[in-house]
């Protein structure tokens, strides 16, 4: 993961209940951004993240699943959750788990 790419500064969103996929290639170069609305539930966040990922692959042939981080905003439009690339983990933004999911910190 490219260092110096703070996820939260890239996701200064004001839209409520959206998933943002920060699309990057294998070298961490930014290719674009994909958004998808969610209903505020955990299942809704995961479903929106899957939809954003499907669009990512359709629109960006060189996109990297691991390098392309996923964030979801809350009802106030603030970054709230980190979503793992395999959609199995959802963590509150600002926690060690979220930093690990986003590749900003080593596990342990």
Selection from 74, 11, 81, 18 nearest residue 48 by Cα: 18
- Mean pLDDT calculated for residue range 48-59: 98
Task: State residue 88 phi and psi, 5-degree precision.
Answer: -95, -15
Per-residue pLDDT at 91: 97
Measured in Å, how far apart are the chain's first and last C-alpha atoms?
A: 18
Name the more confident of 108 and 60. 60
Half-sphere exposure of 15 (CA within 13 A, CB side): 12
Mean pLDDT of 8-20: 72
Q: What is the pLDDT of residues 15-31, one digit of tens each?
A: 899 999 999 999 999 99
Token representation of residue 44? 């809704």
Average pLDDT over residues 21-42: 96
- Token pair, residue 66, equals 């691991």
> Residue 3's pLDDT band (boundaries 50, 70, 90)?
very low
d(CA 13, CA 88): 24
């Amino acid at each position: 993961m490219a260092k110096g790419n703070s996820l939260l500064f890239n996701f200064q969103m004001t839209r409520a209940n959206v998933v943002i996929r920060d699309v990057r290639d294998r070298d961490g170069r930014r290719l674009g951004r994909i958004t998808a609305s969610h209903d505020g539930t955990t299942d809704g966040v995961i479903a929106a993240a899957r939809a954003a990922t499907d669009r990512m692959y359709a629109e960006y042939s060189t996109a990297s699943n691991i390098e392309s981080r996923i964030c979801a905003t809350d009802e106030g439009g603030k970054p709230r959750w980190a979503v793992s690339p395999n959609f199995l983990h959802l963590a509150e933004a600002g926690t060690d788990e979220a930093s690990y999911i986003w590749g900003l910190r080593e596990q342990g």
